[in-house]
Structure 1
Amino acid sequence: MQLAVLGAGLTGVTTAYRLAEEGHDVTVIDRREGAGLETSFANGGQLGFREVSPWAAPGVPWTALKMLGNPDAPFRWKPKAELAQWRWLLSFLLRCTTNARTERERHNLTLGLYSQKEFEALLKRLEGEGAAFDFAHRKKGILRLLPDERAVEEARAEMARLEDMKPGLDVLGAEACVALEPALASLHQRGKLAGGLYAAEDQSGDAHLFTRALAKRAEEKGVRFLLGRDITGFEEEKGRLKAVRLGKEKVEADAFVFCLGVGGLSLAKKLGFRLPFYPVKGYSVSLPAPEGAPEVSLTDEDRRIVVSNLGGTLRAAGQAEVAGFDTNLDRERAKSVLRALEALFPAVESKAEEAQFWTGLRPMTADGSPLIDKAPGFRNLYLNTGHGTLGWTLAMGSAGLICDLIQGRKTAIDPEPFALRRPSLFP
């Protein structure tokens, strides 16, 4: 079967590779000049297969209100005269309940654990082919830092809710956290570490390096990449998408997979449907890892950042800015991530002058789960998008699920929770 994948980010490249492995003739189309250059480029590096709770939660609206006006606040909202922004905010607020969070927690964990299985199977296949496949991969787990006893109790409650799914989570005391990651000694001595939630089987790695390396392997399998091409239109015929137009070029296929992020919102409208996600801006800072830098990937609940050691480069990512489609890098906002990292690890100050900043737009659904489904109105157009902060984590599971749907076979997990028209996205 001839297939066209729209988008060369993590979801696009993993989907294309998986389809090529199954013998399909695949073409990938992207407006950028290379693979993984937007949301996948400089994220926090976490493969948090168990760190999949949605952002919407009880207390989040009040916390966000208290942060307004604080230049270092991890959340910022810039009101826009856009129906899409207000509709998304309303949907998000309606999801800030215990029941809503618990529901999505379980669905995301199911997909996360499946994604880990698919990811590790992929690595074995790649290693079996012999050529090097380096993406600063670490299998040292992810430790969520808990600043006080209330956070510890919330972590215990989370473990209890998910106990039947056997996710492999452990609540550790402060001393055990330091034993696991000695770089936390200073934080503990300052009385700012009450404990941690440890996912020993979670991992980390450089998402951009992975995407680029997998794209190269995909090319070796015959996948054709049409890069630097803007999608200018579509050709439809009797409920089927017949071709994608790229200016004077066009690409025909038997089926198409829509793996575009926020840049795909306007294209979806051209096709006659709405994608229920909105851009949420994030920032990261990368710098040479100082002596004594953490080896375990960390999620800091207090400062709202994640930290990963990517082959000697220390990266911290954070911030949530609901500000439309603005891709400009606000240096003060970026520096606030650096300041949070310095507060966590004072030794970072010695490398601050070498810091490199990045910003990107995450395609966030209000309920915190991706869209993996057939597009409405088309028999041969599929969606694999809207992953928000979980694209790196859920990429391989999403690719496996969409491949099952395309081929009309029994899916490995239930796809219904990730359907486009699920009630949690259309209040």
Structure 2
Amino acid sequence: MKIIILGAGVIGVTTAWYLAQEGHEVEVVDRQPGVGLETSFANAGQISPGYSTPWAMPGLPLKAAKWMMSKHSPLVVRPRFDVDMFRFMGELLSNCTEKAYDINKGRMLRIAEYARDQMDSLRASTGITYDGEQKGLIQLFRTSAQVEHAAEDMRLLAESGIDHKLLNVDEIIAREPGLAHARKRLQGGLYLPGDQTGDAHLFTRRLAAMAVEKGVKFRLSTRIEAFDAADDRIVGIRTSAGRLTADRYILALGSYSARFLKPLELRLPIYPVKGYSLTMPITDESRAPTSTVNDETYKVAITRLGDRIRIGGTAELTGYRLRLSPDRRETLELSFNEMYGGGDLSSAQYWTGLRPCTPDGTPIVGPAPRFKNLWLNTGHGTLGWTMAAGSGKIVADQITGRQTDIPSLDLSLDRYS
């Protein structure tokens, strides 16, 4: 059957790959001139199933209030009249209970672990390279309170069968020698050996080239205008290149997905949460990461990508604005300098992107309500790179009519009904 995928980021391209493997005729449409040029372009570089945690957690309201008083807060809210922002914040807060946190984290761990395994299989079967490593992640704790709080996450990791270990400072530095000069700032760390690293943009470009060899067509530099619907089916898509039709349609437009369903009277509970990154060459190997770490205090990720370092983080609610904030750059640089320092910040590429976040942290993956030939693969938040291979495979299996490898009913939009 013919399938059109809206969106050529890492989610859309991996979905296209799996559908092409099943022999479908696949076309990917995107407004950008190349693949992976929006949120997939310069994310934190982590494939981190063990770190898959919903932002909505018990204690978040108090933490957020304290963060607002800090110049280097990991969360920034730019006040504006935006009904969607206020609704998202309200739904996020409603998920800040222990029961909701356990359910949401369990779902996220399930799809993220599955996605990591699918990525391993894809890498083994294709030989694709993307400055990737499989050396694990360390969540760095600067305070004893952070170490104590890790006990709850360790309980959920254990219940999900995810390998992990609480490290003392000596054990952290043995795995990450570049942190030796930051010894006095550390109290401990949570090591997640199953986590990985890699350049999502490089992966997306190379997988797209492989998909073309499988017959996938990419229609780029094409503005998507609207769906055409009749009764319970999508009958076409209006674009700057004319009207396009297919048997099945997949919406994978990240933060912009919700805008295209509003005219169809379908609400996607997705809101853009702005993130930032710096990418720079390594200048001092002795003060550079060997894999990837997360600075829990500033919620900043520091990742090795070949001969480069990627620093990513912060969460900013400001609608769809893509202005680069000097304050957010200072936070990224502060975390990096205090932990490592072995990169050339003066030549760093400063970037921002919009993460498509849901209130419960779980992506929306599966058939859309009301329309028999529309699927959704969106709302992955900060974990699009982590979950891409898993959610792409799930959608491909569902469209093909195959039983999915993991439970997937609670990943669909129906969970908000």
* Aligned residue in 1 for 2:123: 123
Q: Counterparts of 1:176 and 1:226 in 2: how far apart (Å)?
A: 49
Residues 144-199 of structure 1: CA distance to partner in whole angstroms, max 9, x if unpaired?
112222222322332223323210111111111111111111111x2x21111111
* Aligned residue in 2 for 1:381: 374
Q: Any stretches of 5+ residues in structure 1 without a counterpart?
A: 128-132
RMSD: 1.4
* Aligned residue in 2 for 1:327: 322
Partner SS, residue 285 of structure 1: strand
* Aligned residue in 2 for 1:285: 278
Contact 2:276 2:314 in 1 (8 A): yes
Give the letter for the 1:116 counterpart.
R
Instruction: Find out whether 1:255 has 2:248 as its counterpart.
Output: yes
Instruction: Find out whether 1:178 has 2:193 as its counterpart.
Output: no
Instruction: Find out whether 1:219 has 2:218 as its counterpart.
Output: no
1:239, CA displacement in angstroms? 1.3
1:22, CA displacement in angstroms? 0.8
Residues 260-311 of structure 1: CA distance to partner in whole angstroms, max 9, x if unpaired?
1122222111232111010100000111123120102101111210011111
Instruction: Find out whether 1:345 has 2:340 as its counterpart.
Output: yes
Q: Which of 130, 135, 146 is residue 130 of structure 2 equivalent to?
A: 135
1:414, CA displacement in angstroms? 1.1
* Aligned residue in 1 for 2:109: 109
94-103 or 331-340, which moves further after superposition? Answer: 331-340
Q: Counterparts of 2:281 and 2:155 in 1: how far apart (Å)?
A: 39
* Aligned residue in 1 for 2:42: 42
1:62, CA displacement in angstroms? 1.5
Instruction: Find out whether 1:25 has 2:25 as its counterpart.
Output: yes
Instruction: Find out whether 1:209 has 2:185 as its counterpart.
Output: no
Instruction: Find out whether 1:408 has 2:401 as its counterpart.
Output: yes
Q: Normalized against structure 2, the TM-score is what?
A: 0.96
Instruction: Find out whether 1:317 has 2:312 as its counterpart.
Output: yes
Instruction: Find out whether 1:245 has 2:244 as its counterpart.
Output: no
1:39, CA displacement in angstroms? 0.5
Contact 1:2 1:253 in 2 (8 A): yes
Instruction: Find out whether 1:15 has 2:8 as its counterpart.
Output: no
* Aligned residue in 2 for 1:368: 361
* Aligned residue in 1 for 2:147: 152
Q: Counterparts of 1:182 and 1:74 in 2: how far apart (Å)?
A: 26
Q: How many residues align?
A: 415
Contact 1:334 1:358 in 2 (8 A): no
Instruction: Find out whether 1:193 has 2:189 as its counterpart.
Output: no
Q: Counterparts of 2:330 and 2:221 in 1: how far apart (Å)?
A: 31
Contact 1:3 1:27 in 2 (8 A): yes
Contact 2:157 2:163 in 1 (8 A): no
234-243 or 109-118, which moves further after superposition? Answer: 234-243
Q: Counterparts of 2:193 and 2:60 in 1: how far apart (Å)?
A: 27
Contact 1:156 1:171 in 2 (8 A): no
* Aligned residue in 2 for 1:130: none
Instruction: Find out whether 1:391 has 2:384 as its counterpart.
Output: yes
Q: Counterparts of 1:184 and 1:26 in 2: how far apart (Å)?
A: 46
* Aligned residue in 2 for 1:83: 83
Contact 1:146 1:196 in 2 (8 A): yes
1:227, CA displacement in angstroms? 0.5
Q: Any stretches of 5+ residues in structure 2 without a counterpart?
A: none
Contact 2:322 2:353 in 1 (8 A): yes
Partner SS, residue 152 of structure 1: helix
Q: Normalized against structure 1, the TM-score is what?
A: 0.94
Give the letter for the 2:111 counterpart.
L
Contact 1:112 1:393 in 2 (8 A): yes
Residues 229-260 of structure 1: CA distance to partner in whole angstroms, max 9, x if unpaired?
11123332331112112135122111011101
Over the matched positions of the two proteins, sequence identity in percent amounts to: 38
Q: Counterparts of 2:222 and 2:156 in 1: how far apart (Å)?
A: 46
1:69, CA displacement in angstroms? 4.7
Q: Counterparts of 1:234 and 1:335 in 2: how far apart (Å)?
A: 42
Give the letter for the 2:39 counterpart.
T
Q: Counterparts of 2:272 and 2:149 in 1: how far apart (Å)?
A: 29
* Aligned residue in 1 for 2:265: 272
Partner SS, residue 232 of structure 1: strand
Give the letter for the 2:364 counterpart.
L
